[in-house]
């Protein structure tokens, strides 16, 4: 695993941890050119809160601009359309809990999905 530092940012109904721009470019460079993998619409990030979730607004904005660490698994995963890196972060889980949201590790429905992810490309 490789560790990266991200910056926490709150946007409308999203909370993201922005990661270094070169992270996505590096992992895309490891993929065969013949696959035609394109960069994603946004720079590399971990989604901490997604727009459809309902966080506790009392804690909204806490930590904006601060940094966190993410442990990234070596190896690109794919479903044939999207390409991503699995990653872990106790800090992401702590932010989600502070906003009244469950983490993947807390939620029995996600017992096989215990990681977050960073999209590095797609073939769309």
The tens digit of pLDDT for each residue in 57-112 reads 999 999 999 999 999 998 999 999 999 999 989 899 899 999 999 876 655 555 44
User: Is the pLDDT at 50 greater than 50, yes or no?
Assistant: yes
Tokens of 110: 């996600």
Q: How far apart are CA 44 and CA 51, in angstroms?
A: 18
Are the beta carbons of 69 and 15 closer than 8 angstroms?
no
Task: Report angle CA 106, 1, 40 to the nearest 5 degrees.
Answer: 80
Give the torsion sign (CA, 7, 39, 37, 121). positive
User: pLDDT value at position 107?
Assistant: 56
Q: Give the whole-angstrom CA distance, residue 9 versus residue 79.
A: 28
- Residue ranges of the domains in the chain? 2-122
């Amino acid at each position: 695993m490789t560790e990266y530092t991200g910056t926490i940012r709150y946007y409308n109904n999203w909370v993201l941890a922005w990661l270094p721009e070169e992270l996505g470019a590096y992992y895309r460079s490891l993929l065969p050119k013949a696959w035609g993998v394109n960069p994603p619409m946004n720079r590399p990030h971990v989604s901490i809160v997604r727009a459809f979730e309902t966080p506790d607004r009392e804690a909204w904005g806490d930590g904006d601009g601060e940094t966190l660490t993410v442990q990234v698994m070596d190896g690109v995963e794919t479903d044939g359309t999207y390409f991503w890196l699995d990653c872990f972060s106790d800090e992401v889980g702590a932010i989600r809990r502070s906003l009244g949201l469950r983490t993947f590790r807390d939620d029995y429905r996600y017992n096989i999905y215990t990681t977050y992810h960073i999209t590095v490309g797609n073939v769309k």
